[in-house]
Amino acid sequence: MNSIATRTPVANAVTFTHALNRKLEVQPASDAPLVFVVGGEAAERESLEFLIRRKGWKPQTFASVQDFLSHPAPLVPSCLILDVSQDCHGLELQKRFAVERSEMSIIFVTSYSDVRMAVQAIKAGAIEFLTKPLMNDLLLSAIQQALECSRATLAQQAEMRGLKRCYATLTRRERQVMALVVSGMLNKQVGGELGISEITVKAHRGQVMQKMKADSLAQLVKMAARLRVKTSSGYSPYCSAAA
């Protein structure tokens, strides 16, 4: 379906070009986004490695899925180029990643057209489903999109961890006050519900706003929604919140 304009199809030529242009490569920074390449022929992985490095990203290649899975999850934006030409377990791996490595988007590559698999992969969140021979521009665009998605997901996860840390500093009473306040109750109503004075409610409410680093009630309501705090009498920890 796609064709590659600048890629050399012969393994020896790829190796020669790779060596010839070694000095021209962009050396990625230590915190550069990671692009994992898994599967396919050795010459194809080498060609992709060179292409990715020239864009300033950091490539890491693996001959098999098993080798890749032994690699720890990165702490920087990342994506996976998965060659499923000789492996039919790509969709199963995608499901596993949705749970274990939700910050890593997948770009599927195959040597044959499989519309059913492509549809399933895209519906499950894959960035692209490409067939060989690849077009460099199309692949690079997919990688860019995948890394942007990864960056956004990592930011959301970091924000959620921050919210959890803030929520963990609240006392039991402060959590109760927070749950009732975000449900729409006035201070007087909260006091009546908990059997404490309105002045005490105001004090607890002020502590909640300070500890949660909320600038307004509207912001606190959004935080409670993300933490899945029950907006009824009592409070709920965020045990079901996303990591």
Residue 178 has pLDDT above 50, yes or no: yes
Please, is 38 exposed, middle or buried when counting C-beta atoms within 10 Å of its C-beta (0-12, 13-18, 19+)? buried
| Residue 150 shares a structural domain with residue 220 | no
Interval 35-70: pLDDT, tens = 999 988 999 999 999 999 999 999 999 998 888 888
Which domain range does residue 189 map to? 169-227
Q: Which residue carries 């692949």 as its tokens?
A: 139
Q: Say if 131 falls within a structural domain.
A: yes
| Residue 27 shares a structural domain with residue 128 | yes
Q: Say if 51 falls within a structural domain.
A: yes
Average per-residue pLDDT for the chain: 82
| Residue 204 shares a structural domain with residue 130 | no
Q: Say if 234 falls within a structural domain.
A: no
pLDDT of residue 179: 95
Could you tell me the two tokens for 189? 């109503």
Interval 184-240: pLDDT, tens = 999 999 999 999 999 999 999 999 999 999 999 999 999 999 999 887 544 443 333
pLDDT of residue 17: 41
Give the helix/strand (H/E) hosting 38: strand 34-38
Residue 12 has pLDDT above 60, yes or no: no
pLDDT of residue 19: 43
Q: Say if 164 falls within a structural domain.
A: no
Q: Say if 1 falls within a structural domain.
A: no
pLDDT band of residue 88 (cuts 50, 70, 90) is: low
Instruction: Specify the number of domains making up the chain.
Output: 2
Where does the chain have alpha helices with state H?
11-20, 42-54, 65-69, 90-100, 115-123, 136-168, 172-182, 187-194, 198-211, 217-227
What share of the chain has pLDDT > 90, as a percent?
A: 56
Whole-Å CA distances, 56 to 74, 195, 212:
17, 61, 38
**What is the DSSP code (8-state) at residue 183?**
T
Give Rg (Cα) of the chain.
Answer: 25
Q: Say if 239 falls within a structural domain.
A: no
